Structures are given as structure tokens and as C-alpha cells.
Amino acid sequence: MRLRCAVLDDFQDVATSVADWSPVGDRVEVTSFTEHFATEDELAEVLADFDIVVTLRERVPFPASLLDRLPRLKLLVASGMRNSVIDHAAAERGGVTVCGTQSSPTPPVELTWALLLGLARGIVTENNALRAGGPWQSTVGADLHGRRLGLLGLGKIGSRVAQVGLAFGMEVTAWSPHLTKERTDEVGVELAPSKDELLRTSDYVSLHLVLGETTRGVLGAADLALMKPTAYLVNTSRSALVDQDALLNALHEARIAGAAVDVFDTEPLPADHPMRTAPRLLATPHLGYVSQRNYRTYYTQAVENIEAYLAGTPIRRLG
């Protein structure tokens, strides 16, 4: 009898077409779910009869309480090689092997610049007006050349964002809790003397930090108050890096020129969530990692992980 594999959050219904599942086709029956299951009870019911689960990024938590309700589960494959919402200790206790896949840093870099440029040049406003027969030009775009880009984080993604900023002729400065001058010199940007100074002097601020105890809520109300009223904020990293209520207040009160976000405290975003109607906000539904190449990598390597597990030699283990 074939094992049963569930693919979660396959919103675009492409998981079984972007990769070749034939290497495990005779041993594994794959079911793709295009809808999101928001509660633990829903997940426990839906996944009760599955031996393998493929989950996308960190959207679906797998705490001990859920893993304990899935006694049939033996293999959990997550896209990416880091996953903070899986209880790895509980998985190990329950005999669940957890594996990951590679993930390219370039798609979130590209989306960061799509959002930043969209904000700066009023792309959505102007496109909507043009399509609806509205005014011919109603915004005056903000410049990038000669302006200051402040980066919170200078890792794999932040450093690539910095390179694009430099190519645009921007002044690029960076800060993070443990960032060194050696690192900023390596990338070719300026080390900000403090987070406060970066926020005070930047025309654009973009977050590229790993979420942890030292970075959770790194931008609160007092921090946002330091930004110029003409400055823009971009967050394609994690929503918990920014106090969401403080950001909403800053947008409603026009204390910053605008913000672009790709990450939210609840995903998918509820229909009545205030982020859906906030002024001066450009928002996308967590598209940072969503690209053709990344999806091919995720699901091709998911198949490889399943094949290796069935052979008794798991690969890309997490935890």
C-alpha cells in the first residue's frame, strides 16, 4: 500500500507540476491542498491519515500539541533550511524525521526592490488611475539616486539589496545588533553608528533581519517616530520585527510617507484585517520567496527528501 503525502498551502496548485514526482509515484500518493488550514483542529483532522507532509516555509506551525495528534506522520518536509515553527524536539520524540530544502535569497531581494520602487514612484496609484480613466498623473515620484537607503540587517539578502541600492547611486548604510565595520566594508556600505541614527537619516528603510529574541519588535513606536515624514519603510522579512499597531498608527497619521510589507502577523491575512485598508501602504501576500525557480527547487528537493527517506538514508535533516 502506498504512503500518503499531503502538500500544504499549494495556493497556485503547482506543486505537482513544477517538479517530477515520478521517482516516488509508485510508493507515494500525493494530495495537494490549495486552501489554508488556519487552526490546529483543522490540521489534525485533515492530516490524520497522512504519513508525509510537505509544508511551505513557516506558515504552518507544527507544535508538540499538533504532532502528538498525528501518530501516523513519519516525515515532515519544510521548504528552506531553517524553520522556527516546527517543534523539532517533539518531532524527534514522536519519530518524525524533519527535512528541509534549499531556498534562493534572490527572489526576496527582487521583491524588495519591486516594492520600494512601487512606493517611490506611486506605481499602484498611477496604474489604477490610468485603468479607471482617472487623472493623468497625480503623484510626484520620490528619487532614489543620491538618497539614503538604511538597511536593518546585512546578511545574504540585505547585502544583495545593498548592491542594488549602490547601483542606483544611493548612499547605503546598515545596522544590526552585531554588525561590524569589517562586514560593511566588505559589502561596500557605511556602518550606521546606531539604529536611531540610521532611522533619523534614511530616506528608505528596509528590514532584513532574522527574527529572534534580540530583533523581535526592533522597530516600535519610538523608533518609527525617528523616521523622516518623507521616508518609506519596507519589510519583506518578518512582521514581528515591527510593532504592527505602531506601524498602522504611523501610516494613518502620515508620520511616514509610506510603507510596503510582504509579511503579516496572521497569514493568510483575514478579510477584515486593518492592514488591508491602511493608507499609504503597498502590501503583497508574502510573495518574497514565490518564484518559479524557488518553487522548482522546493518541490524537486521535497521529492528527493522523500526518496531518500524511503531508502532509509534521510537527507537535509533539520533540527
Whether 285 and 48 have beta carbons less than 8 Å apart is answered as no
CB 45 within 8 A of CB 72: no
CA 171 – CA 266 distance, rounded (Å): 34
Q: Which is the catalytic residue, given 147, 148, 208, 238?
A: 238
The answer to whether residue 93 is catalytic is no
Cα–Cα distance for residue pair 79/96, rounded to 1 Å: 16
Contact 135, 127 (CB under 8 A): no
Active site residue 267: yes
Taking alpha carbons only, the member of 201, 111, 203 closest to residue 164 is 111
Residue whose grid cell is 495528534: 69
Peptide bond just before 177 cis, omega within 30 deg: no
**What does the alpha-carbon distance between residue 151 and residue 175 come to, in Å, rounded to a whole number?**
6
DSSP one-letter string for 11-52: TTS-TTTSS--GGGTTTEEEEE--S---SHHHHHHHTTT-SE
In order, the DSSP letters of 102-133 are: ---SHHHHHHHHHHHHHHHTTHHHHHHHHHTT
The order of strands in the sheet holding 204-207 is 190-191, 171-175, 148-152, 204-207, 232-235, 258-261, 281-283
Question: Which of the following is catalytic: 110, 190, 267, 307?
Answer: 267
* Strand 281-283, strand 232-235: pairing: unpaired
Residue 170, all three cell numbers: 544611493
- For residues 11 and 267, what is the distance between their CA atoms, to the nearest angstrom? 12
Q: Which residues are catalytic?
A: 238, 267, 286
